[in-house]
Amino acid sequence: MVSVMFVCLGNICRSPTAHGVFQQMVETAGLAAHIQVASSGTSAYHIGEPPDRRAQQAAKQRGYNLSGISAQQVSLDDLETFDYILAMDKSNLTALKQLAPVNHHRKLKLFMSFAQLQPHTQEVPDPYYGGTDGFAQVLDLVEVAAQGLLQQIRQEYQL
């Protein structure tokens, strides 16, 4: 079983969007028995809350369901257990590196490093304080990076 965790600040916008999109891609590919998907936040601001309603609405318009996801904070156990721990931006990657023991730093990456975009975008911007267009942009980026991630996992684990 390969495990993937997506991480943003509060786990209500970007990381649950990535969670829902990637989960659906995994299921569509018939790999749900091989790939575990989760998401969390580096902060405890929204523990137990569902994804932001704007994130859910944007996802629903593209056929993704985020309703079963609730915010949680990343733990030391997560850092030991998950194979891929993917931050939405450099700030959260830094926070993860400060939390994780050095021997787990190899698991920590920017999610957008899996995207095959030109020009390459390194971060998924936080849409929380903006309008609905920001949530659509998050989905655009997440879909591309999720495809690249799934391709990487399939190659690496021969799935």
In angstroms, the CA 43 to CA 27 distance is 29
For residue range 23-64, what is the model confidence (pLDDT) as tens digits?
Answer: 999 999 999 999 999 999 999 999 999 999 999 999 999 999
Which residue pairs, CB below 8 angstroms and at least 24 apart, start in 47-51? 47/71, 47/72, 47/73, 48/72, 49/12, 50/12, 51/12, 51/13, 51/16, 51/17, 51/20
Please report the pLDDT score of residue 119 as a whole number. 65
126 given a catalytic annotation: yes
For residue range 104-144, what is the model confidence (pLDDT) as tens digits?
Answer: 999 999 999 999 876 678 999 999 999 899 999 999 999 99
Instruction: Using the predicted structure, report yes or no on whether residue 20 has a pLDDT greater than 70.
Output: yes
Mean per-residue pLDDT of the chain? 96
pLDDT, average across residues 91-103:
97
Please report the pLDDT score of residue 71 as a whole number. 98
Q: Please give the DSSP secondary-structure letter assigned to residue 46.
A: T
- Please report the domains of the chain, with CATH numbers, ordered by start residue: 2-157 (3.40.50.2300)
Please report the pLDDT score of residue 120 as a whole number. 78
13 given a catalytic annotation: no
Instruction: Using the predicted structure, report yes or no on whether residue 72 has a pLDDT greater than 80.
Output: yes
In angstroms, the CA 159 to CA 145 distance is 18
Question: Which of 13, 14, 52, 89 does the annotation list as catalytic?
Answer: 14
Question: Which of 52, 78, 89, 126 does the annotation list as catalytic?
Answer: 126
Question: Which of 8, 13, 52, 54 does the annotation list as catalytic?
Answer: 8
Q: Cis peptide leading into 125, omega within 30 of 0?
A: no
154 given a catalytic annotation: no
